[in-house]
Amino acid sequence: MKVVFACPQCGAPAQARLDSPSDWQCAACRHPLHVHAPDPALATCRICGNHELYKKKDFPHGLGMAILVLACALSLVTYNWYEKWLTWAILIGTAAFDGVLYLLVGDAIVCYRCNAHYHGFQATTEHQPHELTIGERYRQERLRREQLKTGRP
Ligand SMILES: [Zn+2]
Ligand SMILES: [Zn+2]
């Protein structure tokens, strides 16, 4: 179990293990954080304390796309060889492979507020897929916070 997040103090990218009780300290600004003792259901974000979290597929970024691009390139080659059945086999096989991969990977749990990503947790009914309306609410909140910081109305 681990969490990937941005330091609440300076925004530096960071990650911490959540299995063992240990305090985290930012390598950039020395900001300390108590990230240990998570409840296995992960009802609240360990970084910012927010209770609204969503789940998304823990799919490696760009991997599915890379496979698809490769398959398209490959199918172009076979198409030029007039091997139409092979072309279709590659395209359909790739789509199926992507689908299986998608089913095999687990869920990552993500905090709406601070965008911390939790890996290795089991999603519960508390964790629903990302909802645009909630995401928008937090986006507005973030904008307001940034405006406060810069002192503009
Ligand atoms: Zn920091
Ligand atoms: Zn959070």
53 and 113 in a single domain? The answer is yes
Give the distance (Å) from ligand 2 centre to CA of residue 65: 28
Q: What is the pTM of this model?
A: 0.72
Q: What is the per-residue pLDDT for 117?
A: 93
Give the distance (Å) from ligand 1 centre to CA of residue 145: 18
Report which residue type is found at 100. Answer: V
State how many domains the chain has: 2
Domain that holds residue 51: 2-58+106-150
Give the confidence band of 100 by pLDDT, cuts at 50, 70, 90.
Answer: confident
Q: How many CB atoms lie within 10 A of CB 52?
A: 17
Give the distance (Å) from ligand 1 centre to CA of residue 12: 5
Ligand whose nearest atom lies closest to the CA of 14: 1
Give the distance (Å) from ligand 1 centre to CA of residue 114: 14
118 and 130 in a single domain? The answer is yes
Inter-helix orientation angle 84-104/63-80, to 10° = 170
45 and 115 in a single domain? The answer is yes
112 and 144 in a single domain? The answer is yes
Residue 20 corresponds to which tokens in the numbers above? 């063992």
18 and 79 in a single domain? The answer is no
6 and 37 in a single domain? The answer is yes
Instruction: Summarize pLDDT for 8-48 with one digit per residue, the tens.
Output: 999 999 998 887 777 889 999 999 988 765 567 788 998 99
* Angle made by CA atoms 71, 100, 18, in degrees to the nearest 5: 115
Give the distance (Å) from ligand 2 centre to CA of residue 77: 47
Instruction: Summarize pLDDT for 123-149 with one digit per residue, the tens.
Output: 888 899 999 999 999 999 989 988 887
Name the E strands within the chain.
Answer: 2-6, 13-17, 23-25, 32-34, 53-57, 107-111, 117-119, 128-129
50 and 111 in a single domain? The answer is yes
79 and 19 in a single domain? The answer is no
